[in-house]
Amino acid sequence: MSAPLVIAVPSKGRLQADAQALFARAGLEIESANGSRSYRGRVSNLANVEVAFLSAPEIAREIGMGTVYAGITGRDQVEETVPDFAARTELTLPLGFGRCDVVVAVPEPWIDVDTMEDLDDVAADFRPRHGRRLTVATKYISITRRFFAGHGIADYRIVESLGATEGAPATGAADLIVDITTTGATLRANGLKVLADGVILSSEAHLVASRALAWDTAQKAAYAAITAKLKAALARR
């Protein structure tokens, strides 16, 4: 018998609510195996499909590692968490929720810094002026490194953010940030501005498949059925 198709869905927060609502509209009720505290479940009306309840970063990581066949997580999580993500994952279907932008934001008083080129000039001049490297607070370490490297910025240091990233410049924990935003209101409230070319990534929740696993015919068929039902639900909306 074919191994079950294991699909991971968010275990908490707004992503969980939106994912379960979309599945319900598609006629695919997600059910916990042993009550609301269970980390395993199933999809109604689909045999040989199991559900794993994980956090969004865990879902991206497990898809990349090939321990689950598919899942629902943000594009930002995939690109941050999965090394060689283009080869190990497939963004099958955008789902229309969980939208955010990953952005580079600097303090508003930096009136001469509006672009990444301006930031490169600041980074090059920062150590001679201040005796230390420019610091960037972020939870998106891999994404930040790739983006900064693409703009030729090398003389900086990342400060891993464990809390409210947008507050880091005001507290002196970092000089600027890379973080997610939806409206920009929180950034503005903390005296920050997004660089004109500083939108690194526009993200939303996706149905994502693993390329790190060998799929058999039954698993492919189950995934195709889920994808088709979700597409139909999104089209009706």
What would the pLDDT profile of 102-135 be if each residue is shown by its tens digit? 999 999 999 999 999 999 999 999 999 999 999 9
Burial of residue 117 (number of CB atoms within 10 Å: 0-12, 13-18, 19+): middle
Nearest to 177 by CA among 118, 126, 136: 136
What would the pLDDT profile of 56-85 be if each residue is shown by its tens digit? 999 999 999 999 999 999 999 999 999 999
- State the residue for tokens 């689909």: 46
Q: What is the pLDDT of residue 32?
A: 80
Q: Which two tokens stand for residue 32?
A: 């916990």
> What's the rounded mean pLDDT across residues 198-216?
97
What does pTM read for this prediction? 0.92
Distances in whole angstroms, Cα of residue 222 to Cα of each of 152, 182, 193, 212, 215: 45, 34, 45, 18, 11
Q: Which two tokens stand for residue 228?
A: 């088709």
Q: Which two tokens stand for residue 118?
A: 């301006």
Residue 96 has pLDDT above 90, yes or no: yes
What does the alpha-carbon distance between residue 104 and residue 115 come to, in Å, rounded to a whole number?
A: 10
Domains annotated for the chain, with CATH where assigned, are: 5-99+204-236 (3.40.190.10), 100-202 (3.40.190.10)
